[in-house]
Amino acid sequence: MPNHIIAPSILSANFAQLGNDIEMINKSEADWFHIDVMDGVFVPNISFGFPVMKSLQKLATKTLDVHLMIVQPERYITDFKDAGANILSVHYEACTHLHRTIYAIKEAGMKAGVAINPHTPIDLLKDIIADTDLICMMSVNPGFGGQKFIENTYNKCADLKNFIIQKNSHCFIEIDGGVNEITAPKLLKAGADVLVAGNYVFSSNNPTATIASLKAL
Ligand code: DX5
Ligand code: ZN
């Protein structure tokens, strides 16, 4: 039985009919909803905020995995908890006091994730990995769906897996960006636990079947 987690990214959903896409994910073999929040400062794009998240919260029946691509994410921790987040990931590059922010997320009752940009070395996670529930490894530069996968991610993922084992950590590795039928099997082999997929799922003719095919790998 496959035990990896599939997290469709609603960034690529049809926002004019978001309810339909949420229902599709509810009924599919997906495990989580991946929710990308962008502020136009940390990344060169603006996605959506609390009104959309609260609508999602009402309809979604699965874990809400929220990926904050915003500066000063510590300002909004309880707001995201109230908007239904179960997992809250902040960017390493956006946090001056990352340890404090991780503990504030946990104290608010959520799992805490740390997202890293493609240029950020995993060595920098040494003193935080034991406190973190999930590392969201960006396999594209954050900001947009449908970008080209960065090939260095395979080695980086395998290195992080070894690092997590060495540290006796139970942290999940989530890969975000460019996941498809070519990259997904290699990522699972390299130790990925969670695969985020936006464009690959929502641009396919049958998103439910595409999710099932990722789950079956
Ligand atoms: C990018 C986002 C991703 C994005 C993935 O900044 O964090 O979650 O939706 O998109 P795809 O799967 O289309 O590369
Ligand atoms: Zn994301």
Ligand 1 atom closest to Cα of residue 43: 6
- Active-site residue (options: 39, 65, 133, 176): 176
pLDDT band at 58 (very low <50, low <70, confident <90, very high): very high
Ligand 1 atom closest to Cα of residue 139: 14
pTM over 0.95, yes/no: yes
Neighbours of 183 (CB within 10 A): 22
Distance 167 CA to ligand 1 centre (A): 29
Say what the pLDDT of residue 20 is. 98
Count of helices and strands (H, E) across the chain: 8, 8
Q: What is the mean pLDDT of residues 129-139?
A: 97
Rounded distance, CA 198 to CA 167, Å?
A: 31
Query: Is the beta carbon of 147 within 6 A of some atom in ligand 1?
Result: yes
| Structural domains in the chain, sorted by start | 5-215 (3.20.20.70)
Q: What is the mean pLDDT of residues 128-148?
A: 97
Ligand 1 atom closest to Cα of residue 201: 12
pLDDT score of 81 more than 70: yes
Please name the residue whose Cα sits nearest to atom 9 of ligand 1: 145
Say what the pLDDT of residue 2 is. 66
Q: What is the mean pLDDT of residues 154-178?
A: 96
Average pLDDT, the chain: 97
Q: What is the mean pLDDT of residues 143-165?
A: 97
Residue count of the chain, please give it: 217
Angle between helical axes of 18-27 and 50-59 (0-180°, round to 10): 40
Closest by Cα among 126, 152, 148, 128 to 137: 152
Question: Is residue 176 flagged as an active site residue?
Answer: yes
Closest by Cα among 113, 128, 123 to 163: 123
Rounded distance, CA 201 to CA 197, Å?
A: 6
pLDDT score of 129 more than 90: yes
Phi, psi of 70, rounded to the nearest 5 degrees: -140, 155
Q: Are 60 and 66 in contact (CB under 8 A)?
A: no
pLDDT score of 132 more than 90: yes
Task: Encode pLDDT of 176-205 as tens digits.
Answer: 999 999 999 999 999 999 999 999 999 999
Question: Is residue 36 flagged as an active site residue?
Answer: yes
Query: Is the beta carbon of 36 within 6 A of some atom in ligand 1?
Result: yes
Query: Is the beta carbon of 67 within 6 A of some atom in ligand 1?
Result: yes
Q: What is the mean pLDDT of residues 21-40?
A: 98
